[in-house]
Structure 1
Amino acid sequence: MREPTYFILASLQDEPLHGYAIVKRALELSDGRVRLTTGTLYAALDRLTSEEMVQVAEEAVVNGRARRSYELTERGLSALHAEAARMAAAAQVVRDRSPRSTAVTVRTVPA
């Protein structure tokens, strides 16, 4: 699962959200790493809808424009949890092989 998809699903874990709120939540949850464009978001939502991982929760007209809110399905929640477990297991491989010291040495190169 690609990182943007992961954070789109994670964004919907607590409550249904409309597009702009998903963009903001994904940015927040990823500590600024995932910056979704409108095109990327809606292409992903269309794909996730067709894969039955998300569904339209509500459609409304706000200021003359259609606004859809999306929610996570059980299938989407299962996929999100499976990916989180996969990433945790992959991270554990690195932690298990790392030296016991958690200190990180940073070397600087003179300019």
Structure 2
Amino acid sequence: MAFGMSEQAYFVLLSLAEEPRHGYGVVQAVKAMSDGRVRLGAGTLYGILDRLVEAGYIEASGELVVDGRLRRYYRLTPDGRAALAAETARLTDLASLARRVLAARPPRAALGPA
């Protein structure tokens, strides 16, 4: 995968898997999905959106003017859905490994200096 998947980018893709959204809608969805842990500022969000568009993972799906302001909507592409699925599988494998390591018996303490 050429695109480096940050946690923030992962949440942006995940928010767009539900439905097309405009920037503020993405911010709100990410905040809700992460229980407020991930918060996206405008500069961060639009940088991520630009990189996701460039990678072919999302595309603009329309624009509306609401209260005199332009809202550009984005949607997930098939490549974006595949990238999201691949990253989800990678994270699942990583979490499984962590559970196995943490559940393993701790190593015996050393008897003295080596």
Root-mean-square deviation (CA, aligned residues, Å) is: 1.1
TM-score normalised by structure 2 residue count: 0.83
Match in the other structure for 1:61 = 65
Please state if 1:82 is matched with 2:86.
yes
State percent identity of aligned pairs.
47
Aligned partner of 2:24 among 20, 29, 32: 20
Aligned partner of 1:10 among 14, 25, 42: 14
Count matched residues. 100
Unaligned regions of 5+ residues in structure 2, if any? 105-114
Question: Counterparts of 2:6 and 2:27 in 1: how far apart (Å)?
Answer: 16
Matches within 5 A, 1:88-103: 88-99=92-103
Q: Which letter does structure 1 place at the counterpart of 2:52? A: L
Larger C-alpha radius of gyration, 1 or 2?
Answer: 2
Q: Could you list the structure 1 runs, at least 4 aligned residues long, displaced by more than 6 angstroms after superposition.
A: none
Unaligned regions of 5+ residues in structure 1, if any? 101-111
TM-score normalised by structure 1 residue count: 0.85
